[in-house]
Structure 1
């Protein structure tokens, strides 16, 4: 890099990420979109250094924690229930999209071979886990739609990258064996899943073997990178290794570490994933300038046209396939139709329209080899990279920006499934606590009056959960809101009293921090953990 030191560039990018994310929240635009646009703007500012991404670095630094975190927050139960639509999108749709784009590329780019065209199709075929999670979680989308989109984006990378490697290998060597490609796909999937589960199992054993919270968090941060490196070293699917490891770790983490460690780990991971997401999306925009300058004069126009047509092809293939993937299996299987009725048309259309590309497309495009085995330049390398970037921009900006008004237009039904499950779980947990209190009556060292106080507390809590849970199911959220607002005001009063004691010297900052942490945990428990103090009222 020229002009600025690399560390200064990183600081500049982080500042830009924070500023653009804040603006995105104010104008209600998904932040990945604004970050890509911001990167494009920064890329044309005179005097700024040229940013050149190493594709291996992109894969290794960014993908493992992002995929691991996305898998960690994926419900295994919901993933299993939606496995059929997820596989239809993550495997069949990737194959169809790759084939369609390869055929279109052959028609638009004279001289491009099938191997290079298939490589282009594999690069742009998988929607991105980062884009799907970052955009869908900030919009009011039914839970099942979110599960299918996130599940698809976790698995489809493995399908696309195996196709990509086979096509690039054919382009470099000049030969392609279908049977070898199929065996490679099967081995990559099975070995990747096995490696991910194995690494997560060892991580859990390590968590149980130590008591230090910082060591626990370090183990969780290191695990996805170990899974990725091991997967890459044996030519397995490193993507599936991280996905399988993240899902397995979610099933074990609750019993492996202390509550305070989980709170700290969630904060660390949330910050890490946010920064990685922000940097990678702004780098997508920054990369376009240098790539554009590598094209021969007069080639930019045809490449822009080809990119627009290929991006449209990817969108149209998805729009056509998603309804077929929902209708055909139910038409062929009455049992499936009875067990899982046809979803609403609005949900089907939303899934068909939500196909943003991102980090995997970026890294795969940049990872194309420079030369073939014979020493000749890799055919159409610059064109493939530029077209891939155009598809990223088209899907992120066009589809991403259209999602909020589209969701309002579709008038999606409110999804109270998670609220009902939350109410049921709270009641079940309180009942278990009351049962345990009954078992502790009469035990030495436990006063009966303390047991009675706790029994009264949990009984009242159980009554409240039942009442407020019914309100949620019926769609009347006013009772919940008033309940949370009341507790927020009470906790705020406690917090301000402690701050006043610290300010007048009655208590030290150490005491304030200890008691403040207890209030923070209580706020999170009551569902008001993200509400700040209203200073004017306080």
Structure 2
């Protein structure tokens, strides 16, 4: 396929991503699921170009920014406070799943050695960061559940890839030393974290020196790739480098850049991550169609059955591990049991059921070497790849599509943690502004009328945010009514300035300035996704 043809194919895939994502939103299902199904359907359509995914492209192009972004939007406070359950899932569960899948695969597939079986187990063991974030947040789970799922999906890739490399090396060379593998795990993890932190420190320093928002955004875009490449060059964990760097930069980004940069960077990153996620998930589906052509017809269905067996094994292990990982520490520690009681069984079940596989499993399977050190074909390579795709498809579709009905049936919902903290933060910020107004009032330069206006403004905010939540103006219904009313007034303002532009009274530059102010206010009010209700055609 020539370069022009490849570009045309990518453009067509992007169009498919946009269409499927919009359709998924109407169906109220997480878009990764529909993209995989859409890619699978496209892969079986005659004449559709076959795209062979290079695993190096997946690891280097797709994974660093996705992991960095996921880490950036993870609360370090909540990650740290949930480190025990996150570690038990990201390390303990990965090891347990790898072992269980390896045993099943070794028994079920005659001739598959232990090294290949462990490689398969490592490949299919980690739930995907993208899937977890897209699905957990969209379905309105309790905040701690979302935190644990996201934290697990950030760290488990590192455990997986270290196990995977050890198993592949054993399969290629025929030797395996457990002590070396354990030592390599801790060295790779530690060095990866250090590299990520160093990149974060340098990025923070660079951001403080720059005064141009475009250059600052470029720094944030380059940082994950630099962290990944440096970590890989040091034979360390690129995953943990990106996670550590993203977490560090998040803690210092607010003070390092101006508001304009933050707003623009958020838009750029949201777009980039959406495009990368969309492409990778639709490509997952396309790869399965391509594999169907590569696998002999007599082997395809038996291997798909093997994929079902491995999927069931991985799902069952997770469903067993999650409650055990919650119960055993509390059994051993009365103090833990007292300060953090056992979660409700429905919460544990949902965490156990949320185990969709994705990008890392895909790339690791495709990255299996073609031959061993002796020149022989890598054992069961095609079979492992097809089984991996089966697991990705089964977990994304079966578990992903069933999550929403299960959550509704179990009556799980957001617990209001973020909303309560937001009200507290808003009240605290408004109070700080009032204190600062009193301080600058004695400096002589403010205009008294301005001080009075701002005192009224912030005083109203303090009163509004210190409500106990039972007052009528603080109910969900009243908030929705207020947002609707404000949307109507913002729409009226927007249409008025558009008419002035259309009538030639103001220039487009003035329109853009005023629109930007209205857009920022809409975002602040939480109505940024609502469109102009009528008459909003910007054509002249």
Query: Which residue pairs with 2:505 in the alignment?
Result: 506
State the distance in 1 between where 2:278 and 2:294 align.
26
Partner of residue 96, structure 2: 96
How big is the shift at 1:47? 1.5
Q: What is the CA RMSD across the aligned residues, in angstroms?
A: 1.6
User: Are the equivalent residues in 2 in contact too, given 1:420–1:472 (CA < 8 A)?
Assistant: no
Change (3 A) 1:66 1:3: closer
Whether 1:82 and 2:82 are equivalent positions in the alignment is yes
* Aligned-residue offset at 1:312: 0.3
2:143 touches 2:415 (CA, 8 Å); kept in 1?
yes
8 A contact 2:125–2:160 mirrored in 1:
yes
| Other-structure match for 1:44 | 44
CA-CA distance at 1:2 after TM superposition: 7.1
Kindly tell me: are residues 72 and 414 of structure 1, through their superposed partners in 2, closer, same or farther at Cα, counting changes over 3 Å? closer
| Counterparts in 2 of 1:414 and 1:149: CA distance versus 1, 3 Å | closer
Partner of 1:409: 409
Distance in 1, Cα, partners of 2:300 & 2:10: 30
- Indicate conservation of the 8 Å contact 2:124/2:388, yes or no: yes
Match of 1:105 in 2: 105
Q: Which residue of 2 aligns with 1:481?
A: 480
Aligned to 2:435: 435
Displacement of 1:425 after TM fit? 0.2
CA contact (8 A) 1:419 1:473 kept: no
Cα distance in 1 for residues equivalent to 2:371 and 2:196: 33
Inter-CA distance 474–430: structure 2 relative to 1 (3 Å threshold): closer
Structure 1 counterpart of 2:125? 125
Matches within 5 A, 1:365-380: 365-380=365-380
1:163-214: CA deviation from partner (whole Å, max 9, x where unpaired) = 0000000000010011110111001110000011110110010000010000
* In 2: Cα distance, 1:267 partner to 1:413 partner: 28
| Equivalence for 1:419 | 419
**Equivalent residues in 2 for 1:184-333 (5 A)?**
184-333=184-333
CA contact (8 A) 1:197 1:241 kept: yes
* Residue in 2 that maps onto 1:531: 530
Give the conservation status (yes or no) of the 8 Å contact 2:495–2:535. no
Within 1, Cα distance between the matches of 2:83 and 2:193?
Answer: 16
1:363 is aligned to 363
Equivalent residues of 2:441, 2:451 under 8 A apart: yes
Please give the secondary structure, in 1, of the residue aligned with 2:469: helix
Task: Find the aligned partners of 1:181 and 1:498 in 2 and give their Cα distance.
Answer: 66
User: Which residue of 2 is the match for residue 166 of structure 1?
Assistant: 166
Instruction: Using the TM superposition, name which of 295-304 and 235-244 deviates more.
Output: 295-304
Asked if the contact 2:355–2:399 (Cα under 8 Å) also holds between the matched residues in 1, the reply is: yes
Distance between the aligned counterparts of 2:458 and 2:497, measured in 1? Answer: 27
Contact 2:407 2:413 (C-alpha < 8 Å) held by counterparts: no
Q: 1:492 to 1:159 in 2, by over 3 A?
A: same
Q: What CA distance in whole angstroms lies between the structure 2 residues aligned with 1:343 and 1:300?
A: 42
Q: CA deviation at 1:535?
A: 1.0
Q: Which runs of 4+ in 1 moved over 4 A?
A: 471-475
Partner of 1:470: 469
Gaps (5+ residues) in structure 1? Answer: none
Select between 298-307 and 63-72 the one with higher mean Cα deviation.
298-307
Mapped partners of 2:414, 2:276: distance in 1: 32
* Secondary structure in 1 matching 2:285: helix
Q: How far apart, CA to CA, are the structure 1 residues paired with 2:182 and 2:227?
A: 23
Give the C-alpha shift of residue 289 in structure 1.
2.2
How far 1:112 sits from its partner (Å)?
0.6
CA contact (8 A) 2:99 2:121 kept: yes
**Secondary structure of 1:147's match?**
helix
Q: Quote the Cα distance in structure 2 between the aligned partners of 1:476 and 1:448.
A: 36
3-state SS, counterpart of residue 505 of structure 2: coil
User: 2:301 & 2:41 partners in 1: Cα distance?
Assistant: 20
Structure 2: tracts of 5 or more residues without a match = none
Count the aligned residue pairs. 537
Deviations 1:473-494 (A, max 9, x none): 9983122222222222222221
**Displacement, 1:536?**
6.7
For 1:298, what is the secondary structure of its paired residue?
Answer: helix
